Structure 1
Amino acid sequence: MREDFLHYIWKYKKFIITGLKTVSGEAITIKNVGEHNFNSGPDFFNAQIQIGDQLWAGNVELHVKSSDWFLHNHEKDDAYKNVILHVVWEHDTEVFAKNNLPIATLQLKDVVDFNLINSYKKLFLNDSRWINCENSFSSIDDFTFNNWKERLYFERIEQKTSVIEDLLKTSKNDWEAVLFKMLVKNFGLKVNGEAFFSLANSIDFSLIRKLQNSTNLLEALLFGQAGLLEEDIENSYYINLVKDYAFLKSKYTLSNINVLPVQFFRLRPPNFPTIRLSQMASLYNLHGNLFSKIIETNVINDFYELLKVETSSFWKSHYTFNKESKTIKKSVSKSFIDLLLINTIIPIKFCYAKHKGININEDIVSLISSIASEKNSIISAYNKLKPVSKTALDSQALIHLKTNYCNTNLCLKCAIGNAFLNNKLLNQKT
């Protein structure tokens, strides 16, 4: 038995509420279970409970056993002096208030439906499953899942915006600067994301604005700050980049001492940092006021047009500075733009609307739903249980579900877990 399950039982009154009595035989009538407290102190505040002939207003504390009161040292803590009811699964000892009178205690194990306990055991008491409800996941109805996944998605996007909020503070609310840093980070993908982010943080965005009309200078700045111009390579393009970066470094007092090294290992050539940084330079050379354009754009195909950029001419026949390759145009793909939308652009649009006091949730849902589902091990595992991920909204919601609910056993706060406990999901395998 877990204490959070007792919270669930009490909060949603999942017990027989008529004819309740304290362990000493006094009648209990619950007027209000109180407000669930997720911080320190009693578990529920401002409850209203009639015990015998007296109506009490105060706090409720829950434990698996009455003796846990002493195990947690509540008898020494004034925060618990206003507890009007001690709710326990099993009463094993008397608990006294400061005035030496026993605190009224309700024992739950005799008033909770056996089916609920059975469902609880099926949900939690099996460590070998990928997720607790995997045997019942296929039985989830579309209404329950569709409503829950939208909430999960917005929980995830709120998490993503926390990084944006921090960047806004350090950039004095310069949205263009924040967009630049987030885009650079995501151009680095997983392997070079943090290195690219450190690179972006080493550059004041005012310099990007000054150099925006020159792809060569933007490339020199990005390659130089990334530490990619420190070899002795004999080609005119590289030599000019080194000269341009030396000029920029001297004029603007640049330093890349805190920039993490970029990686080529384990990357497909189209994702080499050289290619991605050149594309980044082209993007900012092509679009002034990119943030404004992104805010004004809402249709997926318009984003594909807006963000469709390619490398400068040198990189059409190279992946690295010192080795020539077959000539091919190296543009960002639609799938790469999808990742930028999922991880950078949509969170920024959401965060900006929130700052302006505008609700664009429907537009966000429409945009994320127009992107195909991501493919990874988490999505594949859910789809084996039931094919539920068709769009990026689905996949983002499922990633959030696995990471923040399934992995941490928060089934009692999950709509699917609640449906299972309420016997709405029936499966003969459980």
Structure 2
Amino acid sequence: MNFPEDFLHYVWQFRSFDYSGLQTTAGENLKIINPGLLNKNAGPDFFNAKIEIGNTTWAGNVEIHLRSSDWLKHNHQINPAYENVILHIVYEHDAEIKRIDNTVLPVLELKHRISADLIKKYENLFLTLTDFPCIAQIGTVDQLIVDSFLSRTLIERFEQKTKAVTETLNELNGNWDETFYRFLARNFGFKINALPFELFAKAVSQHIYAKHKNNPNQIEALVFGAAGFLNDQFEEEYPKKLKAEFQFLRKKYNIKPVEVSMWKFMRMRPQNFPTIRLAQFAALIVKANHLFSKIMEIKDIAQLHVLFENLPVNDYWKTHYHFKKETSGVNTQIGKTSIDNVLLNTVALFLFAYGKHTATQYYISRAIKLLERLPAEQNAITDKFTGAGVKMDHAFASQGILQLKKQYCDEKKCLYCGIGIKILKQA
């Protein structure tokens, strides 16, 4: 018996056992009219089941254990929540169980009713040491089934991310523009510099930039100063000017800069250095105020791309990757892949979150359509799935895959996964 109770939940829910001539362990004839609804919370495992035992039809709950004695180990015999259990499903019956009122609980033993082939399939999934349990079988599953479950995991992923948006929105008293600005800043840091970018965004709110929207140098001073990069002594005119501007603005707005040591440069391509990303972010602020409002209005993906293209990045950065470090041929514009990343992780998320918050399906649909227009992500996780035969044509699918891997594969929840269930059912 090399399986958990969850496996028996699957067996009962999908009637994946021999149910001919069913009898309780007491010898009474048993007929399953309705197995009930799986309960993922506390209490009996299945609610609202309908079972015929002998000549009596019972309606109530079903509890499942590996052994009958587990009922006692879990102290169900003193828990009123289990008084309405009408049938005890077990793999092995090893003890007579009575309810609180001293009536004997009917038991169905499955030990000799589950095929060895099904148990072997389950073990092949759960005992694998590969990157994900069904790596050898997922390519045999119909793509429609895979896509259907990825639709579910994609929604799960965005609903989880929406919680973080809602928390920040509440913290900012319902200010969507400021909330979007903070998440956009974090996105600009990508994974390695996400935290310092987030802290930098908190140091200078969006409304402060709005007061200086007609002065690019002051915007750049606010950005690099709040990020902690203007504390050195400079020889070049551009950083000296920014430092002078920031010394005034820092006092005016009581700005507390981020510790410059938080920014990561190691093992990064110079194009992704945080100084370049900050220069691009400053240029984006100069180019477009109130980005959230604009994004809510733009429906065409090409027009969304335009918002992040041809940014008025200061010419200084064409010859620098860092203050005091001169070079040549620096591309100061955001690449298409990086723009797609922002559209995926911030723009699509906020369309979805706004739709959820306002109960407006229109914005949720726009978020999904945007994901279907964006290319699938390529990373170590998605590469494993494509290598196993999963087709990913767009970001909708790749985002679903990332959620699938994190919430189902890594947690070995194959029995709650539509793909895993199909593999177990395959002949």
Tell me which residue corresponds to 1:90.
92
Q: Deviations over 1:64-97 (max 9, x none)?
A: 1111112222223232222221111111111111
Q: Per-residue deviation at 1:175?
A: 1.0
Number of matched pairs: 423
Note if contact 1:31-1:49 (Cα within 8 Å) is conserved in structure 2.
yes
| Distance of 1:324 and 1:129 partners within structure 2 | 47
Q: Which residue of 2 aligns with 1:121?
A: 123
Residue identity in the other structure for 2:410: N
Write the distance in 1 (CA, Å) between the matches of 2:318 and 2:413. 50
Looking at structure 2, the residues matched to 201 and 90 of structure 1 have their Cα atoms a distance apart, in angstroms, of: 58
> Shift in Å at residue 48 of structure 1?
2.6
- The whole-number CA distance in structure 2 between the counterparts of 1:263 and 1:119 is 46
Over 3 Å counting, the alpha-carbon distance change for 1:325 and 1:259 in structure 2 is closer
Alpha-carbon offset, residue 210 of structure 1? 1.9
Alignment of 1:26-425 (within 5 A): 26-124=28-126, 126-256=127-257, 261-308=262-309, 309-360=311-362, 361-386=364-389, 388-423=391-426
Which whole-Å CA distance do the structure 2 matches of 1:275 and 1:344 have between them? 20
Q: Which amino acid aligns with 1:398?
A: I
Q: Give the Cα–Cα distance (whole angstroms) in 1 for the partners of residues 95 and 186 of structure 2.
A: 57
CA distance in 2, matches of 1:113, 1:320: 66
Listed one character per residue, the Cα deviations across residues 193-226 of structure 1 (whole Å, up to 9, x for unaligned) are 1111121122333213223332222221221221
1-side partners of 2:366 and 2:345: how far apart?
16
Which range is displaced more, 24-33 or 333-342?
Answer: 24-33
Instruction: Name the SS of the counterpart of 2:262 in structure 1.
Output: coil
1:19 shift after superposition:
3.2
After superposition, what is the alpha-carbon deviation per residue over 1:311-358, rounded to whole angstroms, capped at 9, x for unaligned? 212212211111222154411111110110111110001111222322
Determine helix, strand or coil for the equivalent of 1:130.
Answer: coil
Query: Deviation digits for residues 284-323 of structure 1, max 9, x if unmatched?
Result: 1111221121112222211211111252122122111112
The amino acid that maps onto 1:229 is L
* 3-state SS of 1:84 partner: strand
CA distance in 2, matches of 1:127, 1:89: 23
CA distance in 1, matches of 2:152, 2:15: 24
Root-mean-square deviation (Å): 2.0
Contact 2:321 2:330 in 1 (8 A): no
User: How far apart, in 2, do the equivalents of 1:122 and 1:274 lie?
Assistant: 49
Instruction: Return the alpha-carbon distance in structure 2 between the equivalents of residues 319 and 328 of structure 1.
Output: 7
Q: Is the 8 A contact 2:228 2:258 kept in 1?
A: no
Whether 1:6 and 2:24 are equivalent positions in the alignment is no
User: 1:375 & 1:86 partners in 2: Cα distance?
Assistant: 47
Q: Report the CA distance between 1:374 and its aligned residue.
A: 1.6
| Structure 2, unpaired ranges of 5+ | none
Instruction: Tell me the equivalent position of 1:428.
Output: none
Identity %: 37
Tell me the CA shift for residue 282 of structure 1: 1.1
Instruction: State whether residues 271 and 330 of structure 2, in contact with CA within 8 Å, keep that contact through their aligned partners in structure 1.
Output: no
Give the C-alpha shift of residue 260 in structure 1: 7.4
TM-score by structure 2 length?
0.93
User: Could you tell me how far 1:233 is from its partner in structure 2?
Assistant: 1.6
Amino acid at match of 1:218: I
Identify if the C-alpha distance between structure 1 residues 172 and 74 changes in structure 2 by more than 3 Å, giving closer, same or farther: same
- The ranges of structure 1 where at least 4 consecutive aligned residues each deviate by more than 4 angstroms after the TM superposition are 257-260
Quick one: structure 1 residues 118 and 229, their matched pair in 2 at CA, closer, same or farther if it must change by over 3 Å? same
Q: Following the alignment from structure 2 to structure 1, what is the Cα–Cα distance between the partners of residues 253 and 370?
A: 40
Q: Give yes or no for contact 2:138–2:390 (8 Å, CA) kept in 1.
A: no
Give 2:213's aligned amino acid: Q
Give SS of 1:110's match: coil
Deviates more, 1:6-15 or 1:223-232: 6-15
Q: Is the 8 A contact 1:198 1:260 kept in 2?
A: no
Contact 1:56 1:84 in 2 (8 A): yes
Distance 2:276 2:404 in 1: 34
Supply the distance in 1 between the matched residues of 2:259 and 2:73 (Cα, whole angstroms): 48
What is the CA-CA distance between 1:362 and the residue it aligns to? 4.4
CA 258–165 in structure 1, closer or farther in 2 if over 3 Å, else same: farther
Counterparts in 2 of 1:258 and 1:42: CA distance versus 1, 3 Å: farther
**Structure 1 range deviating more: 45-54 or 403-412:** 45-54
Q: Is the 8 A contact 1:275 1:311 kept in 2?
A: no
TM-score using structure 1 length = 0.92
Q: Once the 2 structures are TM-superposed, how far is the Cα of residue 135 of structure 1 from its aligned partner?
A: 1.8
1:182 shift after superposition: 0.7
Secondary structure, counterpart of 2:361 in structure 1: coil
Question: 1:258–1:74: structure 2 CA closer, same or farther, 3 Å change rule?
Answer: farther
* Aligned partner of residue 191 in structure 1, secondary structure: coil
